[in-house]
Copies of this chain bind each other. A is one copy, B any other.
Amino acid sequence: MSKSCDFCKIEGGYGKLIRETPFWMIFLAPSQRYLGTCVVALKRQCKNLSDLDDEEWKDFIDTLRKLEYSLKEAFNPTLFNWSCFKNKTFRDGEHNPEIHWHFHPRYQDKVKFIGLEFEDPDFGYVPQPINVEVPDEVMMEIKEAILKNL
């Protein structure tokens, strides 16, 4: 059996689970280089977006709308980046791509949250896969702030 994906819950999890919908799981991503970064992962194995069925799309669109609204209320980012890449599974010889969306809120200006200052060092450019972790209690506060309007 192949190793499970970072985003798959079968053997552990990924970041902090914020909410489950009928077809998707919303995680607060381990890296908070961009405050409020989440991953929206499909609950089943699926290689391509064209293989999603209509119900899965409908649920994703609903989730996307709620997430953008909730993040706007929580941290007022300047804009949102969405991407569905599925590249990582090919690095180690495993070929088991899964559908997960990376949701990166982006910030033109510094933003303060619970006394901490967050910057977006790459604003105006594609999000960088550089890991920036914050203490667990800060993760919990970010999760709560997102949940407030989700």
Contact = CB atoms under 8 A, between A and B. Distances in A.
Contact of A90 (B68, B83, B85, B123): B123
Interface string A110-150: 00000000000001111101000000000000000000000
A23 interface: no
Contacts of A125: 87, 91
B129 A79 contact: no
B48 A80 contact: yes
Interface residues of A, number: 33
Copy count, this protein chain: 2
B124 A91 contact: yes
A47 B82 contact: no
A41 to B, nearest CB: 15
6 contacts: A49-B82, A50-B68, A78-B90, A79-B97, A85-B126, A91-B124
